Amino acid sequence: MRKHSILFSGLLAVGLSGCVGDRLSVTNLNNPDVERAFATPDGIEGVIAGLGVQLNGPQRASESANTQAKIFAGENFATVNNFGMAPRTIVPRGPLSNELGNDIQTGNLANYNSFQRIARSANNGIRAVNRLIENGSTLGSPAQNARAKAFAFMILGQALGYVSFGYDSAAIVTPTIPSDSVTPLAGAAEVNAAAVAMLDSAIAIATSAEATSGSNGFPLPATWLSGSSYSRDQFVRLARSYRARIRAGAARTPAQRAAVNWQAVIADATNGITTDHTVQLDPSLGWAAGYDAQQMYVVGGWHQLPMWYLGMADTTGAYDAWLAVARDSREGFLVRTPDTRWPSGNTRAEQQAKQSGLVPPPGVYIRNRPTSEDVDGSGWGFSQYEHRRYGATRVAGNVGPYTDMSATEISMLAAEGYIRTNQLPQAIALINESRVRNGLAPIPAGTSATQPIGTLPNCVPRVPQAPNFTTTACGTVLEAMKYEKRMETAFTGYMIWYTDNRGWGDMIATTPLEWPVPYQEMQARQKPFYNGTLQAPLGTYGFQ
């Protein structure tokens, strides 16, 4: 049997079919065919128009490395074994098994496979438009060509960028590579650089003269990003925002994070989106958030918010008391905070009364769950809280808005850049926009990088202190930025908490920092497979 790599089979997303020897050649219209799909301008544009939904689903799927990453990063806690969640909660962590038939093989493979296939599909679409132009034809006009190519390059950049977030290696696919070529594996940093280059191309094409020459150019049709009809300027801002996210997200260590080109991140982030980028979920149209807006709403151990990082919101000393107890003896506690994204109230009953069912009040992301739905045996992962930002979408049959990228995520990337380049006033201004909007006191002007941003007890965040990490102190400007970003990116995007905690050096000790190339891909390439062994050292907060 002929073997082929997952990357090579990626072109089956738009397919290859044919005949063998002298057998009767009959076109099977149930089997996708590259040449047939790209035979007409309408066919080419149809393939490109479908790239957005292809990219959306795998990011949000329950069975994915992203779901595991939420557990690793302390964004989520679950007691069910599904999707590898309960095994990934174990502390200390173990290496990532990549053995034949390992228990989490489906989730380990899923995002690698999907992003490499999507990259191949986007690549094929770009090449098809280029062939059309070379042959003296168009999709309809130069502007229509530019719109399609810019969109495909943006999707290609995201697909490569996201696979570089999770995996130590992947195949780089660009329009210079033929659709039937099997490319070698490259390291994550190289894949990430290629992703940035693809986003460079998306932006260059969208801002070219061709993009305004003729009809049917920008804005994007609303169906391409499910409800978001972006003008040319808005598209460029979105692509620049993705470029900022992807450029910063590949770092595995604090040293690598520090070495990011922060001036470029600042330039993109300050010219990025100014309102949240949302997609309109509708599973009947293929736009779903399988875990974030659906499965995690099921009661009985599928989701709760662990207190490692989110406990920093508490101003009463309950988080300190939680830290002072041995890890495996910790229990949930009531969080009382001025942060309006949390439920208010001095008792659990008061907090529970602030929310009706799954739908939180405007601006509230977290609910104190009904006591009857608590899950026994959660240990240190137990809390009273659940993330319910998408409650209205859930009760509407999983139809409604989902935040793929918050404007605050992008402004916090700019703020991080300003902090790292010693421009504290600019960073403080951005952080304060989010803090004040959510009920927190502004950071005083003139606060230095090493000063606390406020005074106890009413300071958020309160950060564990060395050497024992059993007490807290008021956080710095950097910690305030981290807190805002965590609150606004929880259950959005792709691996945001994971890539941030990894790059900031904030991970729970022994947490895996990347996945190996799945054994299925290594077998297809006839190369030895291996386990993932890169793990986090003891980090900023002493979590272990």
- Report whether pLDDT(543) > 80: yes
- Report whether pLDDT(180) > 90: no
SS3 content of the chain, % helix, strand, coil (to 5): 45, 10, 45
The verdict on 413 and 354 lying in the same domain is no
Boundary-marking domain end, from 397, 426, 451: 397
Could you list the residue range(s) of the whole structural domain that residue 185 is in?
6-61+112-276
Tell me what pLDDT residue 34 has: 64
Structure tokens at 410: 């992008």
Spatial contact of 91 and 539, defined as CB atoms under 8 Å apart: no
- The least confident of 11-20, 253-262, 310-319 is 11-20
Tell me what pLDDT residue 236 has: 98
Structure tokens at 539: 């980090």
Q: What percent of the chain has pLDDT over 70?
A: 94
pLDDT higher at 375 or 24: 375
Tell me what pLDDT residue 112 has: 98
Tell me what pLDDT residue 39 has: 79
The verdict on 446 and 383 lying in the same domain is no
- The least confident of 8-12, 49-53, 132-136, 478-482 is 8-12
Contacts with 279 (C-beta within 8 Å, 6 or more apart), sequence order: 52, 56, 225, 226, 227, 228, 287, 401, 402, 404
Spatial contact of 117 and 10, defined as CB atoms under 8 Å apart: yes
Helix 65-72 and helix 496-504, axial crossing angle in degrees, nearest 10: 50
The verdict on 195 and 318 lying in the same domain is no
Of 237, 187, 264, 245, the closest CA to residue 59 belongs to 245
Query: pLDDT tens, 72-93?
Result: 999 999 999 999 999 999 999 9
- Report whether pLDDT(411) > 80: yes
**Strands 277-281 and 169-171, how do they pair?**
unpaired
Give a three-class secondary structure readout of 2-63.
CCCCHHHHHHHHCCCCCCCCCCCCCCCCCCCCHHHHCCCHHHHHHHHHCHHHHHHHHHHCCC
Boundary-marking domain end, from 397, 419, 440: 397
461: cis peptide before it, omega within 30°? Answer: yes
Burial 427-456 (b: 16+ CB within 10 A, else e): bbebbbbbbeebebebbeeebeeeebbbee
- What is the number of structural domains in the chain? 3
**3-state SS, residue 416:** helix
The answer to whether residue 249 is domain-embedded is yes
- Mean pLDDT value across residues 239-248: 98
The verdict on 416 and 350 lying in the same domain is no
pLDDT-derived band at 4 (thresholds 50, 70, 90) equals: very low
Structure tokens at 53: 């939904």
Boundary-marking domain end, from 471, 491, 511: 491
- The least confident of 170-174, 355-359, 366-370, 413-417 is 355-359
Q: What percent of the chain has pLDDT over 90?
A: 90
Question: What's the number of CA atoms in the CB half-sphere (13 Å) around residue 362?
Answer: 1
Tell me what pLDDT residue 33 has: 61
Query: pLDDT tens, 335-385?
Result: 999 999 999 999 999 999 988 889 999 999 999 999 999 998 888 999 999
Residue 512 φ/ψ, nearest 5 degrees: -60, 140
The answer to whether residue 322 is domain-embedded is yes
Structure tokens at 481: 């930025």
Question: What's the number of CA atoms in the CB half-sphere (13 Å) around residue 282?
Answer: 7
The verdict on 236 and 128 lying in the same domain is yes
Query: pLDDT tens, 443-485?
Result: 999 999 999 999 999 999 999 999 999 999 999 999 999 999 9
Spatial contact of 483 and 461, defined as CB atoms under 8 Å apart: yes
- Report whether pLDDT(534) > 50: yes
The answer to whether residue 515 is domain-embedded is no
Tell me what pLDDT residue 32 has: 52
- Mean pLDDT value across residues 415-430: 98
Residue at token pair 């190369």: 527
Question: What's the number of CA atoms in the CB half-sphere (13 Å) around residue 133?
Answer: 15
The answer to whether residue 201 is domain-embedded is yes
The answer to whether residue 100 is domain-embedded is no
- Tell me the C-alpha distance between 6 and 380, whole Å: 39
- Tell me the C-alpha distance between 253 and 325, whole Å: 29
pLDDT-derived band at 296 (thresholds 50, 70, 90) equals: very high
The verdict on 262 and 348 lying in the same domain is no
The answer to whether residue 94 is domain-embedded is no
Structure tokens at 396: 């509407």
- Tell me the C-alpha distance between 194 and 200, whole Å: 10
What mean pLDDT is reported for the chain?
93
The verdict on 455 and 376 lying in the same domain is no
The answer to whether residue 222 is domain-embedded is yes
Tell me what pLDDT residue 178 has: 85
- Mean pLDDT value across residues 189-208: 98
The verdict on 391 and 436 lying in the same domain is no
The answer to whether residue 129 is domain-embedded is yes
The verdict on 387 and 411 lying in the same domain is no
Tell me what pLDDT residue 231 has: 98
The verdict on 479 and 447 lying in the same domain is yes
The verdict on 423 and 320 lying in the same domain is no
The verdict on 383 and 476 lying in the same domain is no
